[in-house]
Amino acid sequence: MITCEEAKIEDRDWMAALKKSVKMLHFGGWEEKEAAAREMKRLAAEDVNRRRTMAEFGVIPPLVAMVGSEVAAAHQRLAVQVLIELANASFTNKALMVEEGILSKLPKNLSLLEETDKREFAELLLSISGLANTQFPLNSSRIIPTVVCILESNPSLKTKHLCLSTLHNLSSVLDNAPALISTGIVTSLTKLASVKETSEKSLATLGNLVVTSDGRKALEQNPTVPEGLIEIMTWEEKPKCQELSAYILMVLAHQSSLQRQKMAKAGIVQVLLEVALLGSPLAQKRALKLLQWFKDERQTRMGPHSGPLQVGRVSMGSPLSEEDAEQGKRMMTKIVKQSLHKNMETITRRANGAAGDASKLKALVVSTSSKSLPY
């Protein structure tokens, strides 16, 4: 255990090392700047409070300048690494970086960089994108093209996740939707959504974009919609992906009778039945809501602006009302009685990993048909 006196000595040594590095960073040649950056990387990794102290000593402006320097890639790389450490858990440091023009110092074509450099720039941009949901005036139009450029350069899975997290942060602010959609990112996100390793983050961003008119239009025009989203709803091992896919389908179905027709032709009802029986609680609720709409579609023709929802935006996490829940249960019981007999074998096999024998299947059908479904 460190004594009080030892802690004081450690703090004094740390401060002396910082002051020396700051002096070298401001006034030294490129070799001295590089040595100072290496030392700062070590110092910044130790403690959040110390990162704030480093910023107070004015280290961020010269580090930002190093990022924009074309003298040597090694200097740029080191500066980015130090800034990543300084941005960690510090709103003030992130804001200082943006104010010093870090977004204008980024390389013009990050797709040409080595994978390690791509990942580090993506990590720094993810950290800065956290400012999007604050009062800080972040100009996301400078971040978006850079992140999209990295994402579409076929980077490593880790770098893809960093880019997708950044896009999700930015998409949570609706004012950023036009800039995001104008890059054609919806096409990239739908492709990544079809890959299980990147699906959840992609769907989360699409869920933010689909509530805007431009985002909805881009999804409706995508050739993989709604078939791709319906396929994702069959991923029982990915319940979050099922929930997000169901949410996007709800928004599309509410806004467009044409989309409802396309969904019906793509076999969505059967998939919704399975999710309503075997999905997570939230996925079940969304599946039941969609099934209710398709039942109504059969009974009465809905006009293009008379969808079941009467609000502009479907909440991604809000539960149904008790009335909706009861109505969904009654409707599901009726549908199950009509169609579950011929489809239960498939559903049971997916749920249990193997097909049951005929007697078990019959018992399950009778039991499910005679009871209210869990909701």
Q: Looking at residue 100, what DSSP letter applies?
A: T
Question: Does residue 70 have a pLDDT over 80?
Answer: no
Report the alpha-carbon distance of residue 171 to residue 209 in Å, rounded.
Answer: 7
Least confident of 166-175, 271-280, 289-298, 318-327: 318-327
At residue 330, the pLDDT reads 64
How do residues 264-316 score in pLDDT, each as one tens digit?
Answer: 999 999 999 999 999 999 999 999 999 999 988 777 654 554 444 433 445 55
Count of residues in the chain: 375
Report the alpha-carbon distance of residue 100 to residue 62 in Å, rounded.
Answer: 9
Residues 6+ apart with CB under 8 A from 184: none
Question: Does residue 364 have a pLDDT over 50?
Answer: no
Residue labelled with tokens 């293009």: 304
The arithmetic mean of pLDDT across residues 141-164, rounded, is 95
Which amino acid is located at 245 in the chain? S
Residues 6+ apart with CB under 8 A from 359: none
At residue 328, the pLDDT reads 60
Report the alpha-carbon distance of residue 294 to residue 265 in Å, rounded.
Answer: 12
Question: Does residue 369 have a pLDDT over 60?
Answer: no
On the 0-12 / 13-18 / 19+ scale of CB atoms within 10 A, 270 is: middle
How do residues 270-280 score in pLDDT, each as one tens digit?
Answer: 999 999 999 99
On the 0-12 / 13-18 / 19+ scale of CB atoms within 10 A, 341 is: middle
Q: How many CB atoms lie within 10 A of CB 312?
A: 9
- Hey, CA dihedral for 18, 22, 23, 24, is it positive or negative? positive
Mean per-residue pLDDT of the chain: 84
Supply 148's token pair. 């999209």
The arithmetic mean of pLDDT across residues 73-83, rounded, is 92
Report the alpha-carbon distance of residue 209 to residue 123 in Å, rounded.
Answer: 23
Split at pLDDT 50, 70, 90, the class of 325 is low
Split at pLDDT 50, 70, 90, the class of 111 is confident
Q: Which residues of 278-305 are buried (b: 16+ CB within 10 A; e: fewer)?
A: bbeebbbbbbbbbbbbbbebeeeeeeee
Which amino acid is located at 311 in the chain? V
Supply 100's token pair. 């010093």
Q: Are 52 and 90 in contact (CB under 8 A)?
A: yes
| Closest by Cα among 363, 366, 364, 296 to 327 | 296
DSSP H helical ranges for the chain: 4-27, 30-44, 48-56, 60-67, 73-87, 91-99, 115-129, 140-151, 157-171, 177-182, 185-193, 199-209, 213-221, 227-232, 239-255, 257-265, 268-278, 281-299, 322-352, 358-370
